[in-house]
Amino acid sequence: MTVNLYSDTQTKPTAAMRRAIAAAEVGDEQRFEDPTTNALQERVADLLGHEAALFLPSGTMCNEIALRLHVRPAGDEILLGELAHPLRAEAGGPAAVSGAVLTVVPGEFGIFTGEALAARIVTDDRYRPRSRVVSVEQPTNTAGGRIWPLERVGGVLDVARDHGLRAHLDGARLPNACVASGVPASDWAAGFDTAWIDFSKGLGAPVGACLAASRELIDEAWRYKQMLGGAMRQSGILAAGALHALDHHWDRLGEDHANAKALADGLAQLAGVRIDAAALETNIVIWEVADALAFTAALRAEEVFVYALDAHRVRATTHLDVDRAAIDRALSTIRRVLSDL
């Protein structure tokens, strides 16, 4: 039995999701004639407590377009946490698309304080890039899979507002944070100028993400969607998968968190593993081994897939297609591989 913990992007659409996709009513989304895409956008605007929303092919495009809305392409500065997705995994997009400088605000597991943000903001020094926007990744991904506490987000938003900065919420896995914390998505997204969720992570849809903001910002985001080739046609085929995911895969994320917890607790028993199992909050489990590349290669040979984040850190992500039996098999394989190494 293969155990694919490489990422929660690895899920395949369920039979029920495929039926919903097959039955989708469609039209030309660029002309606002796709009823399923329109319904999804309204649903997400509501969910995140913003005026409007825009369906996009990926979360990366949500980040890139949102950040472009907040800066001028003239050396403006985007402030964000360590190992944030736009830094690590968007091919330098903020520099290429927005002409912006990225500055890391130091913190722990990608989570920083309002004070740390304030110390990095520069708006009136002509030698320095001008700080324009702060981005919060909730929960953090490769920096630790941690949930920003709500007061911490509030502190960061207060500082941003005081300095005239915009605020962006990278909510790729916001549904996980909502289920784990019991805090509704609209509370997490309140106070941000732009916020988005991904359907192709834990929610288990094949494609898509949705960016929410004011009507005015979404109208402007449409220009960049068109420019970057993100405007689609009968996108209801994709939106139907996303709507099905919102209806059927949101509440069950707690199962992924329980499976992640079982994995983390099991790992904590093993010699050669460094992990803070008690800190686990979501579906992302990160631990350290002596040689992450050798470790992940040995696991791969046994059809257990995990992700080497760097020379020592390894990430496993639980999702819809991983049950407790798969976690048990992963753990016993990891135990054997570690003793062989």
Give the interface with ligand PLP as residue ranges (CB under 6 A).
Answer: 58-60, 63, 85, 137, 141, 170, 172, 198, 200-201, 209
CB of 302: closest distance to ligand PLP in angstroms?
26
For the bound state, the minimum distance from the C-beta of residue 230 to ligand PLP, rounded and expressed in Å, comes to 11
Q: How far is the CB of 298 from ligand PLP (least distance, A)?
A: 26
Q: Give the nearest residue (CB) to ligand PLP.
A: 59
Query: For ligand PLP, which is the closer residue by CB, 133 or 334?
Result: 133
Distance CA 46, CA 272 (A): 46
| Residue 86 and residue 172 in contact, taking contact as beta carbons nearer than 8 Å | no
**Residues pairing with 314 in the sheet:** 287, 308
Q: Nearest distance from residue 149's CB to ligand PLP, in Å?
A: 18
Query: Closest CB to ligand PLP among 82 and 170?
Result: 170
* Phi, then psi, of 137 in degrees rounded to 5: -100, 115
Element spanning 327, H or E: helix 324-340
Check: CB of residue 281 under 8 Å from CB of residue 180. yes
State which residue, 63 or 296, has the beta carbon closest to ligand PLP: 63
Asked whether the CA dihedral 174, 178, 181, 183 is positive or negative, the reply is positive
Degrees to nearest 5, angle at CA 284 with 91 and 60: 25
Q: Which is nearer to ligand PLP, 93 or 266 (CB)?
A: 93
Instruction: Tell me whether residue 54 or residue 337 sits nearer to ligand PLP (CB atom).
Output: 54
Report in angstroms how near the CB of residue 73 gets to ligand PLP at its nearest. Answer: 21
208 vs 266, beta carbon nearer ligand PLP: 208
Q: CB 67 → ligand PLP: shortest distance, Å?
A: 11
Q: Cα separation of 224 and 226, whole Å?
A: 5
Looking at the Cβ atoms of 132 and 201, the one nearer to ligand PLP is 201
Q: For the CB of residue 85, give the shortest distance to ligand PLP in the complex, in Å.
A: 3
Q: Report the first-to-last Cα separation within the chain, whole angstroms.
A: 22
Whole-angstrom CA distances from 116 to 81, 106, 112, 153 are: 11, 7, 6, 13
Question: Closest approach of Cβ 89 to ligand PLP, in Å?
Answer: 7
Alpha helices in the chain (DSSP H): 15-22, 35-48, 59-70, 85-88, 93-98, 114-120, 150-162, 174-181, 185-189, 215-227, 236-248, 253-268, 292-301, 324-340
The residue (of 34 and 170) whose beta carbon lies closer to ligand PLP is 170
Task: Say whether 66 sits in a helix, a strand or coil.
Answer: helix
Question: Is the distance from CB of 166 to CB of 70 less than 8 angstroms?
Answer: yes
